[in-house]
Homo-oligomer: A and B are copies of this chain.
Amino acid sequence: MNAPLPHEIVRNLRPVPAQMLDALRQRFGERCSTAQAVREQHGRDESPYPVTPPEVVVFCESTEDVADVVRLADRHEVPVIPFGVGSSLEGHLLAVQGGVSLDLNRMNRVVRVHPEDLTATVQAGVTREQLNREIRDSGLFFPIDPGANATIGGMAATRASGTNAVRYGTMRENVLALTVVTASGEIIRTGTRARKSSAGYDLTRLFVGSEGTLGVMTEITVKLYPQPEAVSAAICQFPSIDAAVRTTIQVIQMGVPIARCELLDTNAVRAVNQHSRLGLQETPMLLMEFHGSSSSVQEQAATVQDIAREFGGTDFEWATTPEDRSRLWAARHKAYFAALQTRPGCRCQAGDACVPISRLAECINESVADCEAAGIPYWVVGHVGDGNFHLSYLLDPADPREATLVEELNVRMVRRAQRLEGTCTGEHGIGLHKMGYLVEETGEGAVALMKTIKRALDPRNIMNPGKVLVI
């Protein structure tokens, strides 16, 4: 099975019966909308796929709201698609079988913070920036940072990670407990606030990363971390991607507890320069951050600087004040939009491969060479401490030939990563796009087992159908 191209998306509507629509209107009043603008807003994400709207949008304010919608959907065999801020990249939110979009943005309450236990429980629509604002005075922070100001629910659904994962882990490691509405509309709890447990099957981690296809996560309990006593950020320029990656490998192998280690290739640096007027030297670059006590941060930085010099890295340029650091990270986070602006009218297809770190340079270099040969504009950023990188293509959405060419490049990158014992997605998820790659990666046996789970937990195939697995 090939990855569907943007113009190949097939809609296979399972209509919402009038009886169900009436029931939704009666129950939710103005919080139930069939207005075209609202539906279109809920039928898209940041992927190059065309808008594919649901039939109706319900703005939920509580777990009970979600359960009520799901019970109706179950009865009428209508698809249900949870919706956060729409920042997903693989077509997760497209209503390819129609149905109801569950907008969870009004579920934006930080329910409980237990600073003494380093835990917080939030509703699914709370964004990571909101959570960090609300807990700032506690001296704690929530580290997972995928770039976009995504909702915690959306981040849990795609098993997101991002720049801090090399030190703090991904959503897989940082979700302790969940409230979930199952496919039959039942409300269940998984996990507790204890930091570890051997009590039965790990339902928490089954739902984390399931992309809305097994149930709707409505409340999420996450781990928090003490704000480090000292933070420093540094930039280091390198003669080649290879030199930057080899530096990273050695940093990880030496056990330096680096908090962030981001690669930007020359194209990404150029875009960021144009967009944020940073005046960076346009070469491959590592953008790093160190967390710890003052002396530990100094020691980490000195060790990394020694390693970088061995590989031809320039001396560090420091961002010591919080303002300088914010400016640097803001620029990094804007790289996506900055790159989009280098080709007016284009859309971005973000690649997302992750390999064992020793194979990272090989995987990036071959993929970049492939892109250069094809003449498609691209840029690379990477959470390289984890072996994860994004080679992203800028394509003309009006030109199906470009979409085809980009997918050819992408499939070669995915297969390269898989051949190097890596994965087709480090953090963006399978969505609509990578269902075929999942089978190639994990084999028919494991995918058959996933399908068995999906059929058992969602027998009517109403939970975000048409994503992750072909049922």
Residues of A participating in the B interface, judged by any CB pair closer than 8 Å: 114-119, 158-161, 165, 169-170, 172-173, 182, 186-190, 192-203, 205-206, 208-210, 214, 225-226, 228-229, 249, 252-255, 257, 292-293, 295-296, 299, 352, 354-359, 386-388, 417-418, 421-430, 434, 437-438, 441-443, 445-447, 449-450, 452-457, 468-469
Contacts and interface: CB of A to CB of B under 8 A. Distances in A.
Contact of A198 (B159, B199, B252): B159
A195 B386 contact: yes
A443 B253 CA distance: 43
Given A116-B357, A117-B358, A187-B445, 11 more contacts: A159-B198, A161-B196, A165-B196, A172-B196, A195-B356, A200-B209, A200-B469, A201-B450, A226-B255, A295-B299, A453-B453
A143 B421 CA distance: 23
A189 B255 contact: no
A395 B165 CA distance: 46
The CB with the most chain B CB atoms within 10 A, among A201, A386, A426, is that of A201
A186 B226 contact: no
Given A356-B119, A438-B199, A453-B201, A422 B206 contact: no
Contact of A438 (B200, B209, B457): B200
Contacts of A422: 192-194
Contact of A449 (B205, B424, B457): B457
B198 A421 contact: no
Contacts of A255: 225-226, 228-229
Given A205-B206, A299-B296, A442 B190 contact: yes
Which 4 pairs show the lowest CB-CB distances between chains A and B?
A: A226-B255, A456-B456, A188-B445, A117-B356
B468 A200 contact: yes
B443 A188 contact: yes
A161 to B, nearest CB: 6
A446 B201 CA distance: 10
Nearest to A450: B201
Nearest to A119: B356
A429 B198 contact: yes
A248 B49 CA distance: 51
Nearest to A170: B196
A172 B205 contact: yes
Contacts of A446: 188-190, 200, 203
A198 B209 contact: yes
Nearest to A383: B196
Contact of A202 (B172, B434, B469): B172
Contacts of A170: 196
Given A173-B169, A205-B206, A446-B189, A198 B116 contact: no
Given A449-B203, A457-B449, A355 B194 contact: yes
Contacts of A118: 252-253, 357
A206 B171 CA distance: 16
A221 B257 CA distance: 22
B165 A424 contact: no
A188 to B, nearest CB: 4
Contacts of A195: 354, 356-357, 386-388
Contact of A194 (B200, B210, B356, B457): B356
Given A226-B253, A249-B116, A296-B299, A434 B194 contact: no
Contacts of A187: 445
A214 B425 CA distance: 26
B158 A354 contact: no
A209 B295 CA distance: 39
Contacts of A199: 423-425, 430, 434, 437-438, 441-442
Nearest to A386: B195
9 contacts: A116-B356, A119-B356, A172-B196, A194-B386, A194-B421, A196-B426, A202-B206, A203-B449, A452-B456
Contacts of A421: 192-194
B425 A203 contact: no
Nearest to A445: B188
A371 B35 CA distance: 65
Given A116-B249, A203-B446, A253-B226, A425 B198 contact: yes
